[in-house]
Amino acid sequence: MTTKHFIEVSGIQIEVVRKEIKNLHLGVYPPEGRVRVAVPSRVDDEAVRLAVISKLGWIKRKQKEFAEQPRQSQREMVSGESHYYLGQRYRLNVIEHSGANLVRLKGKIIDLYVRPGADQARREAVLSQWYRQQLKDLIPELLVKWEPVVGVQAAEWGVKKMKTRWGTCNIAARRIWVNLDLAKKPIQCLEYIVVHELVHLLERRHNDRFRDFMDQFMPQWRLHRAVLNKAPLGHEEWGY
């Protein structure tokens, strides 16, 4: 059984998650430095408090890093603003025409063709659909590359917009999902998440066994994770 509640330590709100695990795990997550502690069910709040106090310096350094991380403001979907694709910045060029909605890359420009009068939401939907298709073209090649390495096979995979995770895995169904916003990040970030979720088919939790698998299959995974968490954030994006 998993339970969640919050405590406060030195002015920092701490999410405490109790579940059937063996060790305490403390994490600080972008974009705002949320602190989460996962602990075995038997560990009380005082032990959590002491663990957090022992790591206060590290927690504050991570929160400072996230606070200083570059962010995009809310996109208005107008010509001239910046958008990202596979970690590269492009300038948006909105073109109204009577044909089908479509997106084309031209040098460092994203040409967004939309019907006359298309509002911000419609323009964003067209660009999001293009991002989705790019990921659907890229992911099969990554699965062909990494499934034999990890020694597992995903029964299904998909792309969806997620606010709190870069990827997720339904172990029973052997189905993995990747976050639509990975289309904006460097390709090694997408590759890292694909491997991460495949490894969850071997180990459900983020424990030592999971990390050992990641070290074995993708020795530089921590570097890829760092690139992902340091890439410019959208106004709603999370880390992983």
What is the DSSP track for 81-146?
A: -EEEETTEEEEEEEEE-SS--EEEEETTEEEEEE-TT--HHHHHHHHHHHHHHHHHHHHHHHHHHH
Supply the mean pLDDT for the chain. Answer: 90
- Asked if 21 and 205 count as a contact pair (C-beta separation under 8 A), the reply is yes
Any bridge partners for residue 15, and if so which? 6, 36
How high is the pLDDT of residue 239?
A: 38
> What average pLDDT does the segment 133-143 reach?
97
182, 190 Cβ separation under 8 angstroms: yes
Strands 88-96, 109-114: pairing kind: parallel
Inter-axis angle of helices 187-199 and 208-217, nearest 10: 130
Task: Name the residue ranges covered by the structural domains of the chain.
Answer: 3-67, 120-230
In this prediction the pTM is 0.73
Cα 18–chain centre separation: 23
Percent of the chain whose predicted confidence (pLDDT) is above 90:
77
* Average pLDDT of the residues in 19-23: 88
Dist CA 76 CA 230 (whole Å): 23
For residue 69, name the pLDDT band (cuts at 50, 70, 90): low
Please report which confidence band the pLDDT of residue 230 belongs to, taking 50, 70 and 90 as the band edges. Answer: confident
The pLDDT score that the predictor gives to residue 73 is 59
What does DSSP assign to residue 236? T
Please tell me the distance from the alpha carbon of residue 229 to that of residue 214, in angstroms, as a whole number.
18
| Residue-wise pLDDT tens digits, 155-207 | 999 999 987 789 999 999 999 999 999 999 999 999 999 999 999 999 998 88
- φ, ψ for residue 152 (rounded to 5)? -135, 165
Q: Any idea which architecture 120-230 has in CATH?
A: 2-Layer Sandwich (3.30)
66: pLDDT strictly greater than 80: no
What integer pLDDT is reported at residue 191 of this predicted model? 97
Q: Residue 1: helix, strand or coil by DSSP?
A: coil
28-37, 139-148, 212-221: which range is least confident on average? Answer: 28-37
Structure tokens at 150: 């990890």
130: Cβ contacts below 8 Å, ≥ 6 apart: 102, 103
Q: How far apart are CA 69 and CA 111, in angstroms?
A: 28
Work out the pLDDT band at 227, boundaries 50, 70, 90. Answer: confident
Strand positions, DSSP E, the chain = 3-9, 12-19, 25-29, 34-40, 82-85, 88-96, 102-106, 109-114, 156-160, 167-170, 175-179
